[in-house]
Structure formats: structure tokens, C-alpha cells
Amino acid sequence: MKKRQYYQLQVLSTERLTPNLQRLVLSGDDLASFPDAPAGSYIKLLFNQFGEPQPTAPQEGQRILMRTYTVRALNKAANTLTVDFMLHGEGVEAGPASHWAQSAQPGDTIMVAGPGTSKGLAPEHDWVILLGDMTALPAISAQLEALPEQTRGYAIISIVSEADKQPLQAPAGIEVIWLVQAGSAGLAKSLLDIEWLQGEPAVWAACEFSSMRAIRSTLDVEFNVPRTQVYVTSYWREGRSEDQHKIDKREDAQQYTQLVS
């Protein structure tokens, strides 16, 4: 098995981008050997068993909590890696990553593993739909920035408050739709509200687990979009830590594969 690669990084700056989104810019000598990551790649942030940021490579057998975050931007020339955290709850018990994002100060150290690559939009398409909540906003933003200028379609983003809207760099043919306080059914319902364009779409979605299921079912039942054109995943689950959510996700994927095969 390939040995996991760890990078020791320091917080360079921290900024509240919008009321529920904190941007941390990380830096460090280790970034020099960090692989180039395509848009939407992710990293693992390491925390110890008490939910504190892990400052050094973990010892053999040490209990570590890992939290997954999208590489919002990687600038090797400037030696920076930018991560945007959706904030939820207060204190370590509400979630070590969200807590750290709110409390981290310039100079603080954390170990990072990765990067991993996520599936993107199906490459063959006539138009696209990208949809997700604020945890997917970094991945959607990075993908929009990488799309060819002639791309048409929609980016549909569910946000906590009106003030969480942020300027997005997208092709002119992409309509950006912000859903404020839309609830777990909001993203799936938005698929019924938009005008479907001519030809084959590619759909990419990431959000909370029950929203993910609702989106998947809407695409199957209402639109019969071919499976090859769709990537729908959950980034978190209400009431479950990332470790628990990972187990739920695996079981759900197995059940769904059996159902559609």
C-alpha cells in the first residue's frame, strides 16, 4: 500500500469571507513537494483524539481524526493553499474542523494529507448543472473557473443567509442561482424549477446526505439522466461526524448500486 504523504503547514491568514464561511490560507516549506491538484481536489486535515490540530506526523498507532476539505486554490509560486470552511456550531464537540477554522490564528500549525481527486463533470455534454450547499461551494467555484468559456448551464448553490452570496467567476452562459434557507429538499426541487436545455447534460452535485438522496432520486425519476452523466455525492450528514458519515455513505452506495444494476 502506498505510504500516506503528510505536509506540515502553518496558517498564513484567516478571513471571514461571508457570515458562514471562513477562509484560511495555509503555507509552509512542505508545500514545495505538494502535488499539483486539479480543480475540486481535496485534502485531509489531521486532528488528535481531543479534536486539536495535529502539529506533527502521527505516531504509529496514534488515534487521529481526519476531516476532508477542498483545495479552493493552490498557488505553488506564492507557496499558499487556500481552504474555505463552512462554519457550523461552536466548540470542538460541534466539529473539530469547524471549530479550528473559527479559532485558528496565523502561525498555528496543522498536518495535511493528500491531495485526492474527486470526480468532476462528465466530459461529454451539451450543458451542465453544478449544485451543492456551502460545503461544496469551494469545489463548485473551482470547477466553474476551469470550465471552457462557451459552457452553458446552471450553478445552483444553497446558502444559509443572503449575505453568504459571493462573486463567482463563471462562463457567461452559466446562470448562477442562490437558494437561501432552502432546506434539505431545496436543491432537488430546484432541478424541477430550472428550464432544461437542449441535449445531454452533465450533472455534478455535493451536499448533505439526505439532500444528495433527494437529488439522485429526482434525476432518476423525473429526468432519467444516464448514470454516466451524473456524479452526486454527500459531503456530510446531519447528526453524524465525518467518520460516521463515511460508513453511511459506503452502505448507501452499495444499496444504490444493487438497486440500479
Residues with Cβ within 8 Å of 79's Cβ and at least 6 positions away in sequence, in order, are 27, 28, 31, 32
To ligand FAD, the closest distance from the beta carbon of 8 in angstroms equals: 20
d(CA 67, CA 96): 8
- CA distance linking residue 155 with residue 163, whole number of Å: 18
Residue closest to ligand FAD (Cβ): 95
Starting at the edge strand that comes first in sequence, how are the strands of the sheet with 201-208 ordered?
Answer: 174-180, 153-159, 127-132, 201-208, 230-236
Question: Which strands sit side by side in the sheet containing 21-27, from one edge to the other?
Answer: 64-70, 42-48, 109-116, 6-18, 21-27, 80-86, 73-75
Reduced to 3 states (helix: H, G, I; strand: E, B; else coil), residue 161 is coil
* Phi (first) and psi of residue 201, to 5 degrees: -85, 160
- The correct pick among 15, 162, 238, 248 for binding ligand FAD (CB under 6 A) is 238
**Is 211 one of the binding residues for ligand FAD (CB under 6 A)?**
no
Q: From residue 57 to residue 86, what is the string marking binding to ligand FAD with x (rule CB under 6 A)?
A: ----------xxxx-------------xxx
Count of residues of this chain found to bind ligand FAD when the rule CB under 6 A is applied: 26
Nearer to ligand FAD, 70 or 143 (CB): 70
**With CB under 6 A as the contact rule, which of the stretches 151-159, 164-172, 195-203, 239-247 interacts with ligand FAD?**
239-247
Single residue of 239, 251, 258, 261 touching ligand FAD by CB under 6 A: 239
Q: Which of 28, 138, 153, 186: binder of ligand FAD (CB under 6 A)?
A: 138
Binding site for ligand FAD (CB under 6 A): 42, 67-70, 84-86, 88-89, 94-98, 118, 135, 138, 235-242
